[in-house]
């Protein structure tokens, strides 16, 4: 079994079309067909069902694909580790993050890191909380910034970088807009603009409201923090969002109020796979992030 055969097999399985796979691989269709045929001959099983110009995996083909994708990841990690062993400051880091950390936290970290290690490359992926955890477990990304830090998931480990408040964001003409603080109970009759059910920030807000025995009346749902802020700015409702998302400036026609009761917070941290050793460039960044926030915390104290 040759590495080229595995690469051709994965590409055909992904596209379910030999011609399209050949175009993506920049080789002749006949070369792809021949390698797939040789692979099936060697294994003694049919990996694909042919349907005209299209193909689809057989049941055993699907099982074989899962193993081969893992094998390619191992080979790629080994190749990358050798390269980064020789020069970790020229490696690449794949990092995931949620929208709530996109505008300020992530850029601040990467900017500070690049001042010391300007040649390290980054591949960034924005996604939802649970998808980020799954991505780290599967190896689609090397690590993820997220909040709150998961404590039940055994296949990832991580460190809390800081704890932040969720604050109330209200339209400027709201009856409570002239206050500096409020209790969450004062918003029980308001229309809320929140993330959809299943998002961790929605869960935090719902749980906070439950402490005052009410469920927020949700008028709009959105998966993007900037869209939520924009709807509040338009006077369409109120929201609770992480304070870090308002660091640079408040959206127009809005006010920020501290929530005194209950205090709504979340931990923000970085997670890495528990069952895989970090490559040199990844470890360089991971250690930097932890030291960066440890020093920041001492300074703020």
283 and 152 in a single domain? The answer is yes
CATH value at residue 55: 1.10.10.10
CATH value at residue 152: 3.40.190.10
Beta strands in the chain (DSSP E): 48-51, 54-57, 92-97, 121-126, 143-146, 156-171, 181-183, 191-194, 217-221, 239-242, 254-261, 265-273
209 and 175 in a single domain? The answer is yes
Can you read off the two tokens belonging to residue 253?
A: 């026609």
**36 within a domain of the structure (yes/no):** yes
Q: What percent of the chain has pLDDT over 70?
A: 96
158 and 295 in a single domain? The answer is yes
Domains: count for the chain: 3
Residue 90: CB atoms within 10 Å? 13
236 and 113 in a single domain? The answer is no
Closest residue by Cα to residue 149 from 167, 164, 166, 170: 164
212 and 174 in a single domain? The answer is yes
**79 within a domain of the structure (yes/no):** no
153 and 282 in a single domain? The answer is yes
155 and 271 in a single domain? The answer is yes
Quick one: pLDDT at residue 72? Answer: 86
Quick one: pLDDT at residue 155? Answer: 93
242 and 111 in a single domain? The answer is no
Decide if 232 contacts 238 (C-beta within 8 A).
yes
**58 within a domain of the structure (yes/no):** yes
44 and 102 in a single domain? The answer is no
Q: For the segment 124-178, what is each residue's pLDDT rounded down to a tens digit?
A: 999 989 999 999 999 899 999 998 888 888 899 999 999 999 999 999 999 999 9
7 and 39 in a single domain? The answer is yes
Decide if 49 contacts 55 (C-beta within 8 A).
yes
- Concatenating the DSSP letter of every residue in 131-181 gives HHHHHHHHTSSSEEEESSPPSS-TTEEEEEEEEEEEEEEEETTSTTTT-SE
CATH value at residue 204: 3.40.190.290
157 and 280 in a single domain? The answer is yes
Q: Residue 299 and residue 51: Cα distance in Å, rounded?
A: 65
| pLDDT digit string (tens) for the chain, length 301 residues | 788 888 888 988 898 888 888 888 888 888 888 888 888 888 888 889 988 778 889 999 899 988 998 888 888 877 777 776 666 777 889 999 998 898 888 999 999 999 999 989 899 999 989 999 999 999 899 999 998 888 888 899 999 999 999 999 999 999 999 999 999 999 999 999 999 998 999 999 999 999 999 999 999 998 889 999 999 999 999 999 999 889 878 899 999 999 999 999 999 999 999 988 888 889 999 999 999 988 876 555 4
**81 within a domain of the structure (yes/no):** no
Structural domain span for residue 208: 163-266
**104 within a domain of the structure (yes/no):** yes
94 and 175 in a single domain? The answer is no
* Statement: the pTM of the whole predicted model exceeds 0.75: no
Q: Which residue, of 29, 52, 74, is where some domain finishes?
A: 74
Q: For the segment 69-89, what is each residue's pLDDT rounded down to a tens digit?
A: 888 888 887 777 777 666 677
């Amino acid at each position: 079994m040759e590495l080229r055969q595995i690469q051709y097999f994965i590409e055909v399985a992904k596209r379910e079309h030999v011609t399209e796979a050949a175009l993506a691989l920049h080789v002749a269709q006949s070369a792809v067909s021949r390698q797939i045929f040789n692979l099936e001959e060697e294994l003694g099983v049919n990996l694909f069902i042919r349907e005209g110009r299209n193909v689809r995996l057989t049941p055993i083909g699907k099982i074989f694909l899962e193993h081969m994708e893992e094998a390619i990841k191992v080979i790629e990690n080994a190749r990358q580790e050798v390269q980064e062993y020789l020069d970790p400051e020229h490696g690449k880091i794949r990092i995931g993050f949620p929208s709530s950390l996109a505008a300020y936290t992530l850029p601040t970290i990467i900017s500070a890191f690049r001042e010391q290690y300007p040649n390290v490359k980054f591949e960034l992926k924005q996604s939802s909380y649970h998808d980020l955890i799954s991505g780290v477990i599967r190896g689609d990304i090397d690590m993820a910034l997220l909040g709150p830090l998961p404590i039940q998931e055994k296949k990832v480990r991580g460190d809390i970088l800081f704890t932040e408040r969720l604050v109330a964001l209200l339209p400027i003409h709201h009856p409570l807009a002239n206050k500096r603080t409020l209790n969450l109970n004062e918003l029980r009759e308001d229309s809320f603009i929140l993330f959809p059910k299943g998002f961790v920030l929605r869960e935090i807000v719902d749980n906070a409201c439950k402490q005052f025995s009410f469920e927020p009346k949700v008028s709009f749902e959105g998966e993007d923090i900037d869209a939520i802020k924009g709807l509040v700015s338009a006077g369409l409702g109120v929201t609770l969002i992480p304070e870090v998302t308002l660091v640079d400036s408040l959206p127009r026609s809005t006010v920020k109020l501290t929530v005194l009761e209950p205090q709504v917070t979340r931990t923000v941290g970085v997670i890495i796979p528990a069952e895989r050793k970090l490559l040199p460039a990844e470890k360089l960044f991971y250690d930097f992030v932890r030291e960066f926030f440890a020093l920041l915390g001492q300074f703020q104290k």
